[in-house]
Amino acid sequence: MQTKIEKIDSSSALAVKIIEEQEYKDLEFLSFREKLSFANISHPDKKREWATARLAIFDALQQLQIPYPGFFKDEHGKSQSMNGQGFVSLTHTLGFAGAIFHREQPVGIDMDLIREKILGIGFRFLDPQELNFLEKDPAHYTMAWSAKESIFKCQGKRGVSFRENILLEPFAPTDQVIKGKIRGTDFADHHYAVEVRRLENVILTYTIW
């Protein structure tokens, strides 16, 4: 399986994998609870995405020489480490899955395919200030969407609206960092710096608290 692993610093790493048609023989590292969750996914594509994201965390952890602790989903849907140590975030999109791990800080990661149709739904997830600075370019819009997903996943709580509560500072389509903040909720006034990468026709973003 093709994998790209990036050690960000001594505390954090990320891995991105291409999702392939394959039998999952190498999932022995999963916890009992995770094996049950995997068995309960019936759709073959979803099964592959789920498994590839877990293989990605496994690889990111290996890079940091941390044994796989097993993860469970909290009441918001965010994955938490079973031994209470470290922070993880997962993503999957058509053909790719990725994960990021940090020893001490909350993290968020997201991958999205660049699609023309995102231009038609901007009003749903963008504030008027953001609509003003974004070019009518699907890649630029996808960067904004993905940055908001990463910020959302980093804070982890349901009930945070992309349009109302996550505001991005102006950025250019070539920028590799997007700054943003959460406003108008209990979790406000934290400023995020979101890293941006482009892999073929996919935008990858991640942020570390």
Q: Which residues contribute to the site for ligand COA (CB under 6 A)? A: 50, 53, 76-79, 89-92, 110, 124-125, 149, 152-153, 156, 158, 161-162
Nearer to ligand COA, 59 or 149 (CB): 149
Nearer to ligand COA, 59 or 110 (CB): 110
167 neighbors 127 (Cβ within 8 angstroms): yes
Cβ at position 3, least distance to ligand COA in Å: 17
Output the residue with the shortest Cβ distance to ligand COA.
Answer: 77
Least Å from the CB of residue 13 to ligand COA:
17
Question: Whose Cβ is closer to ligand COA: residue 8's or residue 154's?
Answer: 154
User: Helix, strand, coil proportions of the chain in percent (round to 5)?
Assistant: 30, 30, 35
- Alpha carbons 111 and 11: distance in angstroms, whole number: 22
User: Would you say 71 and 33 are in contact if contact means Cβ atoms under 8 Å apart?
Assistant: no
CB of 142 to ligand COA, least distance (A): 11
Residue closer to ligand COA (CB basis): 162 or 171: 162
Give SS3 for 180.
strand
Please identify, using beta-carbon distances, which residue of 76 and 172 lies nearer to ligand COA: 76
Look at residues 53, 44, 156 and name the one whose alpha carbon lies nearest to residue 100: 53
- Tokens (6 digits) for 49: 């995405």
Residues 139, 177: contact at Cβ < 8 Å? no
**Nearer residue to ligand COA within complex by CB, 10 or 106:** 106
The least distance separating ligand COA from the CB of residue 39, rounded to whole angstroms, comes to 14
Cα separation, 92 vs 43, whole angstroms: 15
Q: Answer whether 62's CB lies under 8 Å from 80's CB.
A: no
> To the nearest whole angstrom, how small is the minimum distance from the Cβ of residue 5 to ligand COA?
19
- Taking the complex as a whole, how short is the minimal distance between the CB of residue 143 and ligand COA, in angstroms? 14
Question: SS3 for 99?
Answer: strand
User: How long is the chain?
Assistant: 209
